[in-house]
């Protein structure tokens, strides 16, 4: 019983924490550090972005649209273990860019 408890605890530590924020992958990679809707986004030169903090309560698609409006098109977007499908990513990119008259943040 003790061995099973220790193994379960070790597995829990080894797995990433769900609910730790959000992630995105930029189509046009660049470094970005910015707060958007209560979430601190850090994007590295490879286009991988991590959003830390609670953020505002909003549907996942809306958060993606707001992200794309500010940072540019994405190839992936997820939050707290929920990820948009390829079709949803396409919709997020298209809807956001059609609505946005301003250029993405540099």
Chain segment 27-69, per-residue pLDDT in tens: 999 999 999 999 999 999 999 999 999 888 899 999 999 999 9
**How many distinct structural domains can be found in the chain?**
1
pLDDT above 90: percentage of residues in the chain:
63
Classify residue 1: in a domain, yes or no. no
Burial code of 5-29, b = ≥16 C-beta within 10 A, e = fewer? eeeeeeeeeeeeeeeebbbbbbeee
Classify residue 2: in a domain, yes or no. no
Classify residue 12: in a domain, yes or no. no
Residue 104 has pLDDT above 70, yes or no: no
Classify residue 25: in a domain, yes or no. yes
Classify residue 14: in a domain, yes or no. no
Average pLDDT over residues 82-104: 83
The CA distance from 89 to 26, in Å, is 11
pLDDT above 70: percentage of residues in the chain:
74
Q: By the 8 A CB rule, do 88 and 63 touch? A: no
Classify residue 3: in a domain, yes or no. no
**What's the pLDDT at 20?**
55
Q: Which domain holds residue 59?
A: 19-99
């Amino acid at each position: 019983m003790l061995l099973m408890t220790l193994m379960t605890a070790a597995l829990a530590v080894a797995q990433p924490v769900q609910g730790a924020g959000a992630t995105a992958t930029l189509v046009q990679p660049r470094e970005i550090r910015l707060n958007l809707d209560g979430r601190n986004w850090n994007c590295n030169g490879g286009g991988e972005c991590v959003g830390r903090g609670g953020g505002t309560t909003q549907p996942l698609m809306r958060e993606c649209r707001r992200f794309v409006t500010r940072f540019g098109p994405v190839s992936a977007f997820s939050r707290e273990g929920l990820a948009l499908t390829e079709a949803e990513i396409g919709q997020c990119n298209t809807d956001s860019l059609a609505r946005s008259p301003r250029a993405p943040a540099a």
